[in-house]
Amino acid sequence: MQPSLPGLQTTYQPNQSILTSLGPRYSNSITTQVAYDISARSSVTLSGSYGILRFVQIGNIDTNDAIFGMGYNYALSQKDSIGALYRFSSYRYIGDPQAFNSHAALLAYGHKVTGRVALQLFGGPEVTTFRLPISNESNRISAAGGANVTYASPRTGLSITYSHGVTGGSGQFTGTNTDQIQNTINYKLSRAWKGNLNFGFARNTSLGLSGTSQGSQAFDSWFAGGGLSRPLGRTANFTVGYTAYIQSSSLPVCVGSACSASYLQHQVSIGFQWHTRPLVLR
């Protein structure tokens, strides 16, 4: 599968779905998850991540985020399951006094439509608290949630994912409301080679935490691409991919002396991934 590129990211990584940042960037994150089976039908899951988003050129907002989650899952039958999740997210900005935390309490439902198709739904309230009040508000209550549809066969895999909630701001804002949808299709071309197609969309609207100029700004971002991959032995993988990024904004974005409400970027990637063999603790 094509390596993850700057663009639309997952919940536990620094969000980068606003594309018109100034100059080079780098991002690092560490994520861990522990699952424990209480019984044949129930289990608990603990997860946590810490991520940074940094920019070489001034004019962007460097971000730190820490996200922790705790969930409970229960299988009602072979096809249906329910769950509950609490998620805490903390966002801090280098050189900016503003910061905020969010608390989300989510209920989840999963259903196996057929032997190859599965559906997951989750949603609930999200409470966001601000270090510095905005519009005389120290906290806001909004909705968070999402859905995931997967299909799997011996040669083909399909995943459609949607999420809604508060994110870090992608280096442009101190916080955004983000809607994201991502679609990935994987296909086994031969014994060694696999191909994939991916496309998606994200809409970011500012929380308005750094001034009134952010209050009405919104970004719509699309991406589409594909890639090829093959294993190199048992512990390595080679990938090559192409992705096109297209963005429009409600207000012009200025890079140097040029200002525009639209943005287009082409990206070609070549990757080499290495991992150890599974370590089993007994």
Q: How does DSSP classify residue 214? A: G
Q: What is the pLDDT of residue 282?
A: 64
Residue 89 lies in a domain: yes
Q: What is the pLDDT of residue 215?
A: 54
Residue 20 lies in a domain: no
Contact 224, 243 (CB under 8 A): yes
Residue 237 domain boundaries: 25-274
Alpha-carbon gap, residue 68 to 146, rounded angstroms = 18
Contact 231, 192 (CB under 8 A): yes
Residue 121 lies in a domain: yes
DSSP SS3 for 213: helix
DSSP string for 71-85: EEEEESSSSEEEEEE
CATH number, residue 242: 2.40.160.60
Total number of domains constituting the chain = 1
Residue 6 lies in a domain: no
- pLDDT tens-digit profile of 16-49? 888 877 778 888 888 888 999 999 999 999 999 9
Residue 123 lies in a domain: yes
- Determine whether 250 is exposed, middle or buried from the number of CB atoms within 10 Å of its CB (0-12, 13-18, 19+): exposed
Residue 218 lies in a domain: yes
For the entire predicted model, the pTM comes to: 0.84
End-to-end CA distance of the chain: 31
Given a cut of 50, is residue 132 above it in pLDDT? Answer: yes
- pLDDT tens-digit profile of 72-82? 999 999 999 99
Given a cut of 60, is residue 3 above it in pLDDT? Answer: no
- pLDDT tens-digit profile of 138-153? 999 999 999 999 999 9
Task: Please name which of 173, 32, 162 lies closest in space to residue 100, comparing C-alpha atoms.
Answer: 173
Residue 105 lies in a domain: yes
Residue 13 lies in a domain: no
Residue 216 confidence class, pLDDT cut points 50, 70, 90:
low
Name, in order, each residue with C-beta under 8 angstroms of 233's C-beta and a sequence gap of 6 or more: none
Q: In the chain, at which residue ranges do the beta strands (DSSP E only) sit?
A: 25-37, 42-55, 63-75, 80-93, 99-112, 117-134, 137-152, 156-167, 176-188, 194-206, 218-231, 236-255, 258-274
